[in-house]
Every structure is written in structure tokens, then in C-alpha cells.
Copies of this chain bind each other. A is one copy, B any other.
Amino acid sequence: SIRLQNISSHLKKDSTDTHSKAIDEEESVELEDSKENINRKNDCQNKRTLSNERDDELKQDERYFVKIHAPFEALLVLAEKLKVKLPFSENKAPLRPGLFDHGLPCQFTRLNPTEFPPPHNGKTYFTACYQKSLHYRFSEHFGDINQVFRPAERSRLVYEILLRCPYRSPEPLLTAIDEIESESPEMDSTAPNLVMNSRQSQASEKQTLKIEEVFTSSTRRSGMKDTGIEVLLEEGVYEAAFPLHDQLIDEEDAGEPETWNDRMKLYHRWARFSNIFRVQPIRAIRDYYGERLAFYFAWLGWYNSLLTVPSILGVFVLLWGLLSVKYDQPTLDICNPTSSYLMCPKIDRQAYWFLNETCFNAKISYIFDNSASVAFAIIISIFAVSVNFLWQRQEYRLQFEWDMTDITEETETLRPDFERRVEKTIINKVTDKLEPYVPLYKRLISYMSSFSVVLFMVLLVLAVVAGIVVYRLSVSAAFNTIDREMWIYRWKPIIVPITGALINLVIILILQYFYEILAIWLTNAELHRTDKTYEASLTIKMFLFQFVNYYASIFYIALIKPLIIYKPTHLDHHSRPFRLEECDVSGCVWELSIQLIIIMVGKQLISNIWEFYFSRLWNMCRKRIKFRQTVRQINKRNAKMKQMHDQPLNMNLKRSYEEDFLLQPFELTTLFYEYLEIILQFGFVTFFCLSFPLAPLFAFINNIFEIRIDALKVVKEFRRPVARPATGIGTWNSILPIMAKVTVLSNAFLIAITSEYIPRHVYYWTIGNYSLNGFLHHTLAPFHPSDFPPVINRTLLECEFIEFRLIDLSKQSTFFLPFAQSYHLSHFDCNSSLANEIRSQIDFSTCYYKDYRLDHTHNYARSYMFYYVMVARLAFVIIFEHFVYSILFLVRNFIPRGPRSIRAQLERCRYLVQQMYWGAELYA
């Protein structure tokens, strides 16, 4: 079969050997035909004629490379068709970069202009869509014609024509590129044929027409399965098609840093971990990889530099909590051992206990949940809703810098997968041509099945969350049976949530792994017509599931668990077997923090390590297993070459197309996962910031590495992607507001329900007379043990408490030492004198539990304070939401999306373009 391995419109300059020079000098396509598939070859006549070189040494591997080269004149023709913008007028007053435009404003993070020299020798130009009739206006700014089109742009232009090339043409209708290259000496389709120096050849009128024919009469949109490289790839005629990377040479061989190629520069000055504190050379990334990839790195870097603000704030909030905990009256009250409250038994603690046991939890809770952290949550909410808006301003700036404004959407191309697999055809109303078509009922069926699978997976996640709850309950219960003297018993409040969270994390990662496979399989089965709908469908599926997968357990702890408060009358297992777990007396914030830290930090660590090593491993496996033959042959040939030339191994001996071929392909979903990761992280940072103010800092540190890991992957482990223009981060722009909405909702309810902020303040301003003295008593409801249901053995409850109390006391005082000894000898005797002494000291007639309820004379009905506080909670939610959205509304309506200076530049550009077009005939 014929395999198109390699497409590149990139020009290289450094080459010594004549043979390899030919390869490197041209953008070329190599193809190979095995014996069995000559018919096919004839179908693809036009492709065949593009062949420049066949590598005879590689014949045994039956893999040939075709290099495609497009001369400058062809690129110009393509530029006109595809509305590529080229400079036409110098910008005398270019935009000055703002202080924060490239991330942190520190001097040492600035880009060194000598490392990545600005284009056009630092001059700035206004650009307009290239038009042949106005060539004279553009050509005066061309300068070096190798610099007119950016490398990424060249590869894109060539790929665009490959997308539109018909390959089954009965009459000898040859494509434009063919015609352009026809000036090269021999045009034998069987013998290897080198096209040299054709870049200098002039494109004749006839050739231009041919490109027009490609664009009009047989566009890729006709859908007749006879056009476009992608269909050939899908059908296995070619194995791969990709632009060539610049070669990555060892630093010592590479010469002066100024002469390095783009990839070398990017590798050494961007991708390596040593650059971790340097600003990203976004423009160079864009020049080399195109806008789509550059936008990802721009977004990530921008977002990360934005994160510094909440990171610093978060550290201060934590410090405030740590410093002020010793002055907080309710916490002091809880920790006070002399006047502690006798607490009622709980489901996982079938004995009375003293409130001061939860002192540690209470302190931790206060550290995370205090006035500063509430203020922090409010700030984070405003931050979350404005991130999207701020990013759009940044996006606007980048669009302007990259000439991506006023870009009309590309016409959609059918997915090759769709064309290959769909049999039925219908007349496309747009193009008036036959194209494959999936009937409505089939689409409905596949959507329905996708929907039910996603639903099932979501329910599975919820089941997992429920399972973790059961796990925690049973481990808690198990702890009650073990010896109270063991060290592990003391750590129970930490061990249970931590192990629960760890198990949860493992399950989340496993589910994610399988779901990713499932989602792609489902989306493929849906037979999407275009990449756009394919991506949209995949996005919805992945986002929905990952959202539930990562956040469900945290939301449960944050918003549902605090609502579960049982009266002590509901103590017995038997009457209510399905009891949910309650929070600690000091609130759920503590547990929430543990869950959050483990899932967020654990997830990021694991996925970063995975990312970093996985793609290396994958490439290694590819080389070792799949392409073992190829690699061996390359090595053999290199050795031979070395012998022949008998000189120190020159890097040019390595053929970059071979090397590139061995790398991982860059797929549609590669960037998708990266974006998804950041968006999920954004959720962790914003949704629950109340309970973990260090989340932004962790995210910030993670992202610093994330940028370099992704950069390394893109520079070293992946084939160079075909550059695609993009005007922004696409779908993620519409997912960010959704995240912001969830943030506002989540923070509103976190503060109102989970946090103690509202009850404290209600007490402070009303009953407490501007102090929190007595707040603890106010939140505890008295209970008469006589009201326990009959199945509960009150004497046993008391006994257990006394036993436990004695263990504690025996550690503190020698008086109780006899008990400790007797305990070790035999079982505890509840009627011993020691026990009775304790019993006499303690008033068992009332125990307390945390709730706003009246005493037993009112049958433990909810006190009016409960509703009073609830009114305050709900009012807070309403005020908070309206406050945040009002700010957003004002910001959105009074700050324009485009900064004024940029809009002025754009207007100036539009004005000059209009002048040029209006005056075209005047000056022609």
C-alpha cells in the first residue's frame, strides 16, 4: 500500500550532505508502494506524482516516506484562498505590552529578546488578508521570503490542500502542487525522483488556476470519499501524515545558541525544568506549533500567574487561623477540661464522652473556618466568576497579537471515520453534493445508549460515594471494639477520613481510566459528522462524568453531611438500621479538608507523574516493540553512512522524518485532556476554598511543573501537530462560567451551612451581646437519658464512659493507678468503688448533643433559634449570590472585553485595510 508518512512545509537551512540536503531543503512527502496494491496507487495518481524520493535502503521494511514541498508562490496562492493575513503596512505606534501581560512582572521572569528574537526585526506591521490584486502592497514588506510565512502556517497551508486533493480522478487532472513542481527535471512515477531548488521556480498563471480547481470543483466537502489525505489515512493507504520537527541536536553539536533551530530553542529555553521560573515564549510556541497549542500554554501560564493572588491570600488566611485559634472563645470553651460538657452517645461511640475530647478537631476546624476564611471564600467566588471575563480580555489581546481577529470560521470537513463507516448518502443542502448520512433513528439510538451509559457511570460514582460512607461507618464501629489503650485508637478521627479518602482516590482514578476508554468508544460509535460535534459530544461526556467523579464525595461531605443530625433518641441500630454518618461536634470542615487535600493533591501528583513517565514509556515501547525492525534498520544505515563518510557522526545522518515517525501521534484528544485537568483543578481551588485555603498554592505549584511537563511532551515525545488556527480555548470558554456558577453556589452554601460563621455571628449580634461567651452552651441541646429508647442499656452506657474516664485519669494521676492495674488483670467492674467515686462526681441526668432543640419538656422540638439561624443562613445565600453576580454584572457591562488600546489598534488596522481596498484601483 502507499503510505504517506510525512508532510512538512518547513524549511531547514543547515545541511551539508547533498543527499540529505534534498530531503531537508524541500517540504516533501515520501510514499511507498508495496506490490499488492498497484490499483490503489493508480487511483491516487495525484499523490503519486508528489513523490520526491524513495529510500531504497529501507525497502525491506516496506515503509516509504513522501516529503511534500510547497514553493513560496504556491503558498501565496493558498494564502489568498485561505485568507491568510500578511503584513501590508508598518505599525508606527505599536502596542506596548502591559505590566502583567506576560505573567509575573518580575524582571527575572522576562523573556530575553536575544533568545527569541521578535519577528520582522522588531518592527510591527498591520496585516490584511492577502490578495493577489494588491500584491504590490504586501510584497514590499516581504523581506526574506522564508520568513513571510511562519513555520506553523506553512504546514497548515500544505495540509489544507492535501485535505482538498482529489485522489481518484479518471482524466489526468493533476493538482496544483504537481503542476508547480512539473518544472523539475524528471516526472517518472516509478523511479525515485528528487525535486531540487524548485522553490525558486515561478508559479505560472496555469498553475494558479489549478489550485483554484482544487478549491472549487473537487473540494473536500463533496464527501464523495475521493478527496483528502484524511480519508487515505483512515483507509490505511498512508500510515501517517505529519509536519516535520526541527531536529533536536545535542547541545555541544548545535553550535552557537543564536543559530539554533526553533525546536532547539524551545527545548532548552522553555520545556526543560530548569526554565521553571521563566516566562513562556508564547510567540515562539505559536510560530512553531500554531495557535491551537499556543493558546493552551498561554491559558495555562496566564491562569497560573493569576493563581498567585489567591495563593498568597490563602497562606495569610491559614496563618490568621493558626495565630488566632488561641483567642477564640468557643474553641477555648471546648478545650476547657475543667468545665466540660457530658455528651450523649453517638452512633459510632456507644458511650457518654466529654466534649473536650474533640479539642484537637475543634482547633483544626477553627483554623480552616474563621472569619478570614469566609472573607477568602467570598474573594475566591468573585475571582471565579471573573476568571472567565479576565481570560477573555487576555484572549482578545492574544487574538490581536496573533492576527486572529475577524477570522471567519473554517468550513467544516467531514470526519474521515464518518465517511468510511457510513454507507447511506444524502444530498447535502449546503454543497448540493452527495455525502454520507446517518438517519435520525440511528443517531437517536446511539445517543440514547451513550446517555444511558453515562448515566450508569454517574450512578456508579454515586454508589462508590455511598460505599465509602459505609466504609467509614464500619471502620468507626470497628474502632469501638478494639482496646482503648492502643495508640491507634487515639488516631481514629484522622485515620478514618484519611483511609476513606485514599480509597476514594484510587477508585476515582480507576473509574476515570476506564471511563476515558468508554467515552471515546461511545463517541466514536455515535458517528459524528464533523470534528466539532465530535469534540462537543466528548466534552459533555467527559466533563459531566469527571465532575461527578471528582467532586461527588467532597460535595457530600461539604453540603449533605452537615445536614444530618440525629437526636440521641435515634441511637439504637435496630429501629433505624440505615443511618448516615454525622459530622463531628466541631463541624464537617475538618473532614472536608482531609478529603480535599488527599483527592486534589493526590490526583495532581499521580497524574503528573503519569504524564511525565507515560509518554516516555510509550515511545520507548513503540521503538522497542512495534517499530523494532525500523529502528534496527535506521541504526544499521547510520553505521554504514558513518563508515562511508568516515567523519564524526553528523546529526544530519539521522533523518528527522524517521525520528518523528517513531514519536507518538498528536491526536484530537491530547489537548482535551490537558484542558480538562486544569478545569478540574480550578474546581478544587474554587469550590471548597473555605475548607482548604492552601488549595490555590498547591494548584500553583502543580501548574509550574505541569507547564514544563506538557512542554517536554510536546517538544520531545510527540510528532509535530499540524498547526490549526484557533481564536481561543474554545469550548472551555463556555465551561468556565459553569464552573464559576457552581463555585458561587457551593461557596454560598458552604458558608451558610457547613461553616459555623452564621451561627456564631447570629449569636454575637443578638443573644451574646457582642461577645461569643456562652456560644458553645447555646449550640448544645440538653437531653435526659431517661428518654433513651428502652433497647438502650443506660447502665452500660454509663459504665463504658466510666471505664474510659478511668483509663484517662489513670494516666494523669497516681490516685487512679490501681484501676489501671486492675484493668490489665481483668475486665472492668462497673460497681467497683473507683467507678462509684467517678459516678458520684458526674451528673448523668443530662447529656448534651449539638443541635438547636428544646429540652425534654418540649419533647426535644426544634427551638426557635434553629429557624432563626436558618433564616440567617438562607438570607446569607441570597445576599451572597446577588452580591457576587451584581459585581460580575457591573464588571461585564462597564469593562469592555477588548482593552481600549487594542481596540484602537484594531480599528486603525481596519481603517487602513479599508483604505487599501477602496483605493486599490487608484494606485494599481
Residues of chain A having any CB pair with chain B under 8 Å: 81, 93, 133, 208-209, 212-213, 215-216, 221, 406, 408, 411, 429-431, 734, 745, 862-864, 867-868, 870-871, 874-875, 877-878, 881-882, 893, 904, 907-908, 910-911, 914-915, 918-919, 921-922
A83 to chain B, nearest CB (A): 10
Chain B, residue nearest A882 (CB): B745
A87 to chain B, nearest CB (A): 18
A907 in contact with B216 given A871-B874, A874-B878, A878-B874 (CB within 8 Å):
no
**How many Å lie between the Cα of A870 and that of B216 in the bound state?**
69
A408 proximity list for chain B (CB < 8 A): 406
Contact present for B864 and A918 (CB under 8 Å)? no
Contact of A908 among B216, B429, B877, B881 (CB under 8 A): B429
Contact present for B921 and A208 (CB under 8 Å)? yes
A115 to chain B, nearest CB (A): 32
Contact of A922 among B212, B910, B921 (CB under 8 A): B212
A81 in contact with B216 given A868-B867, A878-B878 (CB within 8 Å):
no
Contact present for B216 and A921 (CB under 8 Å)? no
A914 to chain B, nearest CB (A): 7
A870 proximity list for chain B (CB < 8 A): 867, 871
A216 proximity list for chain B (CB < 8 A): 915, 918-919, 922
7 A/B residue pairs, CB under 8 Å, sorted by A: A133-B133, A208-B921, A411-B910, A411-B911, A864-B864, A874-B874, A874-B877
Contact present for B907 and A213 (CB under 8 Å)? no
A81 proximity list for chain B (CB < 8 A): 918
**How many Å lie between the Cα of A849 and that of B429 in the bound state?**
72
A40 to chain B, nearest CB (A): 29
A876 to chain B, nearest CB (A): 10
A212 in contact with B919 given A429-B93, A867-B864, A870-B871 (CB within 8 Å):
yes
**How many Å lie between the Cα of A862 and that of B921 in the bound state?**
84
A212 to chain B, nearest CB (A): 5
**How many copies of the shown chain assemble into the complex?**
2
A133 to chain B, nearest CB (A): 8
Contact present for B411 and A914 (CB under 8 Å)? yes
A921 in contact with B867 given A431-B911, A877-B878, A911-B430 (CB within 8 Å):
no
Contact of A215 among B212, B430, B875, B918 (CB under 8 A): B918
Given A215-B919, A429-B904; 20 other pairs, CB 8 A cutoff: A81-B918, A93-B429, A209-B922, A212-B918, A212-B922, A216-B919, A406-B408, A411-B910, A430-B907, A430-B911, A431-B911, A734-B893, A862-B864, A863-B864, A864-B864, A867-B870, A870-B871, A874-B877, A878-B878, A881-B881
A921 in contact with B430 given A870-B871, A877-B878 (CB within 8 Å):
no
A740 to chain B, nearest CB (A): 12
A431 to chain B, nearest CB (A): 6
Q: Which 10 A-B pairs have the closest CB atoms?
A: A867-B867, A864-B864, A874-B874, A216-B919, A215-B918, A430-B908, A430-B907, A870-B871, A216-B918, A867-B868
Chain B, residue nearest A908 (CB): B430
Interface centre among A216, A904, A910 (most CB of B within 10 A): A216
A882 to chain B, nearest CB (A): 8
Chain B, residue nearest A429 (CB): B904
Contact present for A430 and B208 (CB under 8 Å)? no
Chain B, residue nearest A212 (CB): B922
Contact of A871 among B221, B430, B871 (CB under 8 A): B871
A908 proximity list for chain B (CB < 8 A): 429-431
A868 proximity list for chain B (CB < 8 A): 867
Contact present for B209 and A921 (CB under 8 Å)? yes
**How many Å lie between the Cα of A81 and that of B920 in the bound state?**
11
A431 proximity list for chain B (CB < 8 A): 908, 911
A862 proximity list for chain B (CB < 8 A): 864
A176 to chain B, nearest CB (A): 12
A430 proximity list for chain B (CB < 8 A): 904, 907-908, 911
A881 proximity list for chain B (CB < 8 A): 881
A915 proximity list for chain B (CB < 8 A): 216
Contact present for B871 and A867 (CB under 8 Å)? yes
Chain B, residue nearest A82 (CB): B918
A907 proximity list for chain B (CB < 8 A): 430
A918 proximity list for chain B (CB < 8 A): 81, 212, 215-216
Contact present for A921 and B878 (CB under 8 Å)? no
A213 proximity list for chain B (CB < 8 A): 922
A93 proximity list for chain B (CB < 8 A): 429
Interface centre among A208, A863, A864, A893 (most CB of B within 10 A): A864
Chain B, residue nearest A734 (CB): B893
**How many Å lie between the Cα of A806 and that of B406 in the bound state?**
84
A129 to chain B, nearest CB (A): 11
A120 to chain B, nearest CB (A): 21
Chain B, residue nearest A876 (CB): B874
A886 to chain B, nearest CB (A): 10
A893 proximity list for chain B (CB < 8 A): 734
**How many Å lie between the Cα of A52 and that of B81 in the bound state?**
47
A880 to chain B, nearest CB (A): 11
A101 to chain B, nearest CB (A): 19
**How many Å lie between the Cα of A61 and that of B292 in the bound state?**
69
Chain B, residue nearest A208 (CB): B921
A735 to chain B, nearest CB (A): 11
Contact present for B212 and A921 (CB under 8 Å)? yes
A882 proximity list for chain B (CB < 8 A): 745
A443 to chain B, nearest CB (A): 14
Contact of A874 among B208, B212, B215, B875 (CB under 8 A): B875
A221 proximity list for chain B (CB < 8 A): 911
